[in-house]
């Protein structure tokens, strides 16, 4: 019999002492790999992770995914570098495999990603392609791709990472040069809405919690696009967390984002303890772990405090540490996800469960 949320929350491994303010999770004792109860049964919203075609042949990945997840995001198979070929040819076979796996196993699917500034320029060459051809192929790609999965997707990341790195305005890219800075985004949402009218359509971005200026620019962009008629249905915050940001910063962004009234997706959560590009790092492992647990706990608490209708899903970018792109690419050797390589609970897992309680 499936345990109730009350039974799961009452389990001994989930006990975390109550503290004050946003850092009350920081003292959660580092777990020695206890069993992780199913996240999909604990969280009061869908819990998701990513999947790739090569993982579909791994029995341990399948077992852990079906244990913990109610939602799956294709990690790479729906990116334009995989789906779009020379001469505007399409290949959706890998995407079909991931979507089919999810469908066959009762998981809902979140599509990622339709339009991204960093991909497609080799084919959508704004310097040589006539504007009318550019616009026509842009529309055809979105309508074909999104329409292929009509009725099968819970939502889509329609436009990904449009805000400049430092939050100073928007990114210049092949899409904006050909179709206008706001124009390419409005057009993408309109085409996606026509192709899959029941899916929730997201504007997705990173560093929104980490860089307050970028978060503010992003929310202003959402408001402006809505006024221009873009059928934006949700906000995606990737939440690749910098664990050294000040306490309260995540809560502030989540509160500001919630004020728009749209569903919010924590869409790509991870939280490495290692610094990137900042030396020297004199923190002890205990200090880094405390920062990690505190920031993940704050994010989870701020998300769980949202009205139910605004909690679209809580998604980690990879399920276990060994599934993380950070680990695969050698950018991290610590525990950037909720589960360790064996699928047991990392300390941050307990912070998420405590936030639910």
CA 322 to chain centre: 18
Mean pLDDT of 234-248: 97
* Helices 183-195, 131-148: inter-axial angle, 10-degree rounding: 40
Q: Which comes out higher in pLDDT, residue 279 or 204?
A: 204
Q: Is the pLDDT of residue 5 over 70?
A: no
Structure tokens at 58: 């791994």
Does residue 28 register a pLDDT over 80?
no
pLDDT of 345 above 80 = yes
Which residue bears the tokens 């509160």? 255
Q: Which residues pair with 155 in a beta bridge?
A: 110, 200
pLDDT in tens, 303-318: 999 999 999 999 999 9
Q: Which two tokens stand for residue 197?
A: 């009218």
Q: Report how far residue 22's alpha carbon sits from residue 256's, in angstroms, rounded to the nearest whole number.
A: 17
| Mean per-residue pLDDT, 87-113 | 98
The region that residue 348 occupies, defined by phi over 0 for left and psi between -120 and 50 for alpha, beta otherwise, is: alpha
CB-based contact 14:354 (threshold 8 Å) = yes
Look over the chain and give the mean of its residue pLDDT values, rounded to a whole number.
91
Cβ(254)–Cβ(312) below 8 Å:
no
The answer to whether 318 and 300 are in contact (CB under 8 A) is: no
Whole-prediction pTM: 0.91
Question: How many Å apart are CA 234 and CA 151, to the nearest integer?
Answer: 17
Does the annotation count 268 as an active-site position? Answer: yes
d(CA 187, CA 34): 48
Q: How far is CA 39 from CA 85, 121, 130, 230, 240, in A?
A: 38, 39, 49, 34, 19
Which tokens hold the place of 60?
């341990």
Query: Max alpha carbon distance in the chain (Å)?
Result: 64
Give percent of the chain above pLDDT 90: 85
pLDDT band at 12 (very low <50, low <70, confident <90, very high): very low
Question: For position 13, what pLDDT does the model report?
Answer: 35
Can you give the length of the chain in residues? 357
Q: Read off the pLDDT of residues 142-179 as tens digits, 9 standing for 90 and up.
A: 999 999 999 999 999 999 999 999 999 999 999 999 99
The residues spanned by each domain of the chain are 44-269
Selected catalytic residue, list 75, 77, 268, 298: 268
Residues 6+ apart with CB under 8 A from 185: 115, 159, 162, 203, 225, 230
**Would you place residue 276 in the very low, low, confident or very high pLDDT band (cuts 50, 70, 90)?**
confident
Segment 34-54 mean pLDDT: 97
Q: Find, among 296, 280, 168, the residue nearest to 242 by Cα.
A: 296
Phi, psi of 35 (to 5 degrees): -60, 140
Asked whether the predicted pLDDT for residue 26 surpasses 70, the reply is: no
Kindly tell me if the per-residue pLDDT of 10 is higher than 90: no
Of 274, 271, 281, the closest CA to residue 347 belongs to 271
Residue 122 among the catalytic residues: no
CATH hierarchy code of domain 44-269 = 3.20.20.80
Q: What is the pLDDT of residue 323?
A: 97
Does position 287 have pLDDT exceeding 70, yes or no? yes
Mind giving me the DSSP string for 197-233? TTSEEEEEESSTTT-HHHHHHHHHHHHHHHHTT----
Res 278: pLDDT? 64
Q: Which of 161, 153, 148, 142 is nearest to 207 (CA)?
A: 161
Question: Which listed residue (161, 209, 298, 301) is catalytic?
Answer: 161
Q: Residue 112 has what pLDDT?
A: 98
pLDDT over 60 at 14, yes or no:
no
pLDDT for position 32: 57
Which backbone phi and psi does 185 adopt, to 5 degrees? -75, -45
**Gap between the Cα atoms of 184 and 120, Å rounded:** 14
Q: Is the predicted pLDDT of residue 200 greater than 70, yes or no?
A: yes
């Amino acid at each position: 019999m499936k345990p109730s949320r009350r039974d799961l929350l009452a389990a001994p491994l989930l006990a975390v002492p109550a503290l004050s303010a946003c850092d009350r999770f920081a003292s959660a004792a580092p777990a020695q790999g206890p069993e992780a109860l199913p996240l999909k049964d604990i969280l009061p919203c869908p819990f998701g992770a990513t999947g790739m075609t090569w993982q579909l042949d791994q029995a341990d990945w399948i077992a852990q995914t079906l244990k913990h997840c109610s939602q799956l995001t294709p990690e790479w198979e729906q990116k334009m570098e995989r789906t779009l070929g020379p001469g505007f040819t399409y290949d959706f076979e890998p995407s079909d495999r991931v979507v089919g796996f999810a469908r066959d196993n009762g998981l809902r699917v979140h599509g990622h990603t339709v339009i991204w500034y960093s991909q497609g320029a080799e084919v959508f060459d704004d310097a040589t392609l006539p504007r009318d051809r550019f616009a026509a192929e842009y529309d055809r790609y979105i309508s074909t791709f999104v329409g292929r999965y009509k009725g099968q997707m819970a939502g889509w990341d329609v436009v990904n990472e449009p805000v400049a790195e430092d939050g100073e305005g928007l990114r210049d890219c092949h899409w904006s040069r050909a179709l206008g800075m706001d124009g390419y985004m409005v057009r993408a949402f309109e085409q996606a809405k026509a192709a899959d009218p029941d899916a929730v359509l997201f504007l997705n971005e990173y560093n929104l919690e980490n860089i307050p200026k970028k978060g503010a620019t992003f929310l202003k962009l959402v408001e402006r696009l809505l006024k221009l008629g873009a059928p934006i249905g949700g906000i995606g915050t990737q939440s690749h967390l910098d664990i050294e940001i000040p306490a309260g910063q995540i809560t502030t962004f989540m509160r500001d984002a919630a004020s728009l009234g749209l569903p919010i997706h924590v869409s790509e959560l991870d939280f490495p303890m290692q610094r990137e590009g900042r030396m020297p790092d004199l923190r002890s492992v205990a200090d880094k772990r405390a920062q990690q647990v505190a920031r993940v706990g704050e994010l989870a608490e701020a998300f769980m405090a949202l009205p139910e209708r605004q909690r679209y899903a809580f998604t980690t970018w990879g399920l276990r540490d060994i599934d993380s792109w950070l680990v695969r690419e050698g950018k991290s050797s610590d525990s950037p996800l909720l589960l360790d390589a064996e699928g047991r609970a990392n300390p941050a897992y307990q912070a998420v469960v405590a936030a639910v309680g």
